[in-house]
Chain A
Amino acid sequence: MKEINVVIGGPQGSGIETSMSILSKISAGKGYWILAEREYYSNIVGRHSYIIARISSERQPRSLTLPVQILAAVDAETIFTHYNDIENGVVIYNKIDEKVRLDKIPSMEDLLKLRIMNELKGLGIDPSVSGLMEFMKRERGVEPLPIDFAQILGKLSESYRLDPRQLSRYVSTIVVSAITTLLGLDEGSMKIALSSHFRDREEIVEQNFAVFREVSKLLSEKRGILKLEEPKNTSKKMLVLTGNEAVAIGKIIGGLRYQSYYPITPAADESEILEKFGLQEVQGKIFGPILVMQTEDEISAIASAIGASLSGARSSTATSGPGFDLMVEAISWAGMNEVPVVITFYQRGGPSTGLPTRGGQSDLMAAIFSGHGEFARVVLASGDHEEAMYDAADAFNIAERFQVPVIHLLDKFLANTTASIPIPKLDEFKVDRGIRYKGTGDYKRFDLSSQISPRAFIGERGAFIWYTGDEHDERGHISEETENRIRMYNKRMEKIKLIEEEVPSWRKLNLTGSTSPDFIIIGWGSVKGVALEALEKIEARTGFKGTYANLRMLWPFPRKELKEITSKLAPEKIIVAEHSYGANIASLMATDIKVDEVASIVKYTGRPMMLKEFVEALELILSGKTSRVVLKDGA
């Protein structure tokens, strides 16, 4: 096999995340590429969570897909929740769960329970795990692989004299061990992955390894039944990280010195990672300090980041929708005062609290148009981990060069997806601090003699600096005089044109695919991976050649570039894809480049677009059957 798709599910708090980390490390250690996303409720313990992963021997997977070939279930709820997500594969589960009946699972949402109950009734299946297994075996080509968890844990408890109450911690290792056994991965790689995950805690590594051996022994007949081909990967090392981690690393390379945040999902992880890198001494050199400030709210987060920026420190804050809304007044202040500051905006499912731990792309308009008054800003979006890392660093360059707030749009999908990527080429990460003031004496922060006034920092000798949210004169003092108002206003607004002209087109938009396409998909952010892979599939299946336009700068809107690529196609051959209801990028196209009535593929369940459903949607659109498809796969 060239690739395998896996779902690992269980209650929140049962170590599902640990299994994701270990599985990623084993895979990457063996040279396989991996992409794994984590789905979970807004809950600490008990509700259903799962990992959906794709492991490939061919190349880095860019998207996830259903059905999978391995479903590993820590509990019965996982089997019921995901029974439609697997075909021609293996279900790994706890033998004791066979007796569990659907109506007896308290942690499951009533609405979901009812829906599945009705489905099972329609299919004539007894709503128990054993009943379902029988059906899946018969109709879906699924092989049940029951494992007696209690027996394995009992042995562990005996050998290491463990408190029985702590045994649940090892359940995720049973599951990962079963998966690695099916994949035919060796003991050595398991040991290295465990050591890497549990760091120096040797005892824990040993205990988990004992679990692996036990499971491996138990499943010896199944060893390698889902073996992957030898990996084509030739690199000796890979980065294995989440989107949050990629952004944090990008910011560190980019010279971040002050990061503020108020805890919010799915942004907080980024700040916590940065905290670990507050001060580093590497190769005899000091890196930092990076101050990470947990503030009392998001208003303080953005206001303090702006304050830090005035002193010359590269500063940023990270948040998601609800927090961003609170920041808006200060972003307008930053626009008025031409302050470089970076807002890393991880979108989740809205409106309001919405789906707080799920993903979305419905905050495009908020990022672009929020804030009172008119001012220049830049909105960037990243399509994958590599882009996210680069953009997180480059956002500071854009902010300082044009002296504007930069909003870096990401989403929960990226934040919580682990990917294996190459070590970045560091030469590409330039640091551009923009025009600095070099004189002494009569400093004017808002000097009108050039469009970008040279920047001095508060604390620098020889410059008095005033800032105010009021309209101001060149020195930064309040002025309501009309001529000055016009000149200052123009100076700020004309930056939009300057940015449009000076930002290179590769930074705004990337095209992948056919140079004379039959159709074009336009998207941004996390749509990239699924769209790119869908292009290949659809061409193989239908012969239609497509191009994906990955928008990386959403504001100023890349109208010239987009106009060029859309002008040759009929509107129905232009397909917008977005995790939203409104396919909002289409509204921007309608107003900005007068391209209207385009087709769209949208999804707003909070779950990521899956490859298979995306390809099917494309087929429907390209065959002229519909111009809008709403996707809904994934539990």
Chain B
Amino acid sequence: MEPKINYRTDLWIDWCPGCGNYGILAAVLKALEELKLEPHKTAIVSGIGCSGKIAHYIKANGVHTLHGRAIPFAMGLKLANPELNVIVHGGDGDLLGIGAGHFVAMGRRNLDIVVIMHNNGVYGLTKGQASPTLPLYTKTKKLSHPNLQGQINPIMLALAAGYTFVARGYAFDGNHLKEIIKAAIQHKGSAFIDVLQPCVTFNDIYTAEFYKKVIYKLETETGWNPNVEDPKEADVKLLAALERAMVSDGRIPIGVFYSNPYASTFEERISQSLGRVYPNLHPSNSKIEEEGKNLFDEKTFEEMFKDFIVERIG
């Protein structure tokens, strides 16, 4: 048997004891391990907050970026080197608050990356303010008044934006989450996973006890099939996913809402516009110099830029 790759750095983890992030980290590590992703070809790109630190705990490339901007950093990295497996981690405030514009734009592109949202309903590292997924009039313990801003439905937003793999997981159902993460990594296109993550310190409403009571698994329902198996049924499946995401019966479904492998990825669209050399030839593996000299000589320069050259007549 070949030895397992160790994807865990030896850093001490400074999340609160009992934090949902431990479950997410464990599921990610296990998914990487089972998929045997090459660490040097893998990049974890994270935002700011407790979830942002995950980049340091995984022994692959890690880019711990700015609040809300993990997606655009990840996009540049992935576009410039499409050989990379790029996984974005962000909190709900990060992805749906300050970074919502980028979150939506990523869906439009269907770039082949995975976005994992650590959804705890609060801004943890700044001590418990309400986040974009906290329902209206909810009062978690650090709020002096009930929350006056309504909540975003992350699944619906992701579906509307154009993510072609949309799922929800639960931080403390490690196996289930691991399988979703694996499917998301293997999915061709932008994948989004909304991970319910109890915050033991600041969210006294959406606790592990709470989730235990209300969570159910989509795949256990007879007839639930989120996978688009024929491009023609993409719209029907999308509508079913949206409907399911809207149901408010007090229960919370986890599992895959939608998976469409037929939509063109951003890489394919770029390839089309760049004479099909991309993604084989890409920004980070294409030559730009020869021993310190640029690649142009007079002839190539004049041919390439002929539109700007005016020849003398008479």
Contact = CB atoms under 8 A, between A and B. Distances in A.
A and B, one complex?
Answer: yes
B56 A310 contact: no
Interface string B74-93: 11111111011000000000
Contacts of B232: none
A31 B313 CA distance: 8
A239 B309 contact: yes
A293 B53 CA distance: 28
Interface in B220-272: 270
B19 to A, nearest CB: 17
Contacts of A307: 45, 63, 72-78, 80
Interface string A323-339: 00000011001000000
Contacts of B53: 478
Contact of A308 (B80, B275, B278, B289): B80
A262 to B, nearest CB: 11
Given A459-B40, A461-B40, A469-B64, A291 B294 contact: no
B56 to A, nearest CB: 5
A277 B304 contact: yes
Size class of the A contact interface (CB-based, 8 Å): 35 or more
A243 B111 CA distance: 33
A2 to B, nearest CB: 19
A278 B64 contact: no
A283 interface: yes
Nearest to A431: B289
A283 B299 contact: yes
A288 B274 contact: yes
A238 interface: yes
A279 B299 CA distance: 17
B60 interface: yes
B283 A258 contact: yes
Contact of B60 (A279, A301, A464): A464
Contacts of B274: 278-279, 288-289, 291
Nearest to A277: B304
B185 to A, nearest CB: 17
B304 A304 contact: no
Interface in B275-294: 275, 277-278, 281-284, 286, 288-289, 292-294
A280 B304 contact: yes
A379 to B, nearest CB: 22
Contact of A426 (B275, B277, B297): B297
Nearest to B308: A241
A430 B294 contact: yes
A581 interface: no
Interface in A439-457: 457
A237 B305 CA distance: 12
A291 B314 contact: no
Nearest to A295: B72
Contacts of A260: 76
B312 interface: yes
A397 B87 CA distance: 31
A626 interface: no
A503 to B, nearest CB: 17
A255 interface: yes
A311 B105 CA distance: 22
Interface in A215-253: 233, 235-241, 245, 249, 252-253
B55 interface: yes
Nearest to B290: A431
Interface in B26-76: 39-41, 43, 45, 48, 53, 55-56, 59-66, 68-69, 71-76
Contacts of B282: 289
B220 to A, nearest CB: 38
Of B77, B80, B270, B282, most A-chain CB atoms within 10 Å: B80
Contacts of A393: 294
B310 A196 contact: yes
Contact of B273 (A189, A278, A299, A423): A278
Contacts of B68: 299
Contacts of A289: 274, 277-278, 281-283, 286
Nearest to A459: B81
A314 B288 CA distance: 9
Interface string A280-301: 1111011111110101110111
Nearest to A305: B76
Contact of B292 (A249, A315, A426, A432): A432
B301 A458 contact: no
Contacts of B76: 258, 260, 293, 303-311, 315
A71 B293 CA distance: 47
Contacts of A119: none
Contacts of A254: 288, 294
Given A286-B277, A307-B80, A257 B283 contact: yes
B305 A239 contact: yes
Given A304-B76, A393-B294, A469-B66, A29 B313 contact: yes
Interface string A191-211: 010001000000000000000
Nearest to B71: A300
Contacts of B59: 464
Contacts of A238: 309-310, 312
A462 B61 CA distance: 11
A477 interface: yes
Contacts of A29: 310-313
B57 to A, nearest CB: 10
A374 interface: no
Contacts of A469: 48, 64-66
Nearest to A231: B312
B101 interface: yes
A460 interface: yes
Contacts of B300: 282-283, 285, 287
B1 interface: no
B77 A296 contact: no
Contacts of A427: 293
A131 to B, nearest CB: 41
A310 B80 CA distance: 9
B289 A291 contact: no
Given A307-B76, A311-B77, A426-B296, A478 B312 contact: no
B102 interface: yes
Contacts of B40: 459-464
Interface string A401-426: 00000000000000000001001101
Nearest to A255: B288
Contacts of A28: 310
Contacts of A295: 72, 105
A457 B284 contact: yes
Contacts of B69: 299-300, 303, 330
Q: 9 closest pairs, A vs B, by CB? A: A307-B76, A255-B288, A304-B76, A257-B283, A313-B283, A431-B289, A308-B80, A303-B72, A468-B64
Interface of B: 9, 11, 39-41, 43, 45, 48, 53, 55-56, 59-66, 68-69, 71-81, 83-84, 101-102, 104-105, 270, 273-275, 277-278, 281-284, 286, 288-289, 292-305, 308-314
17 contacts: A29-B313, A249-B308, A257-B284, A283-B300, A286-B286, A288-B277, A300-B105, A307-B75, A310-B76, A313-B80, A330-B66, A330-B69, A427-B293, A457-B284, A466-B63, A467-B63, A477-B11
Given A311-B283, A431-B292, 18 more contacts: A249-B305, A252-B304, A254-B288, A277-B304, A281-B275, A287-B295, A289-B274, A289-B278, A297-B101, A313-B284, A431-B289, A457-B81, A461-B40, A466-B62, A466-B63, A467-B62, A468-B55, A468-B56
Interface of A: 24-25, 28-31, 186, 188-189, 192, 196, 233, 235-241, 245, 249, 252-255, 257-258, 260, 277-283, 285-291, 293, 295-297, 299-301, 303-315, 329-330, 333, 393, 420, 423-424, 426-427, 429-433, 457-470, 476-478
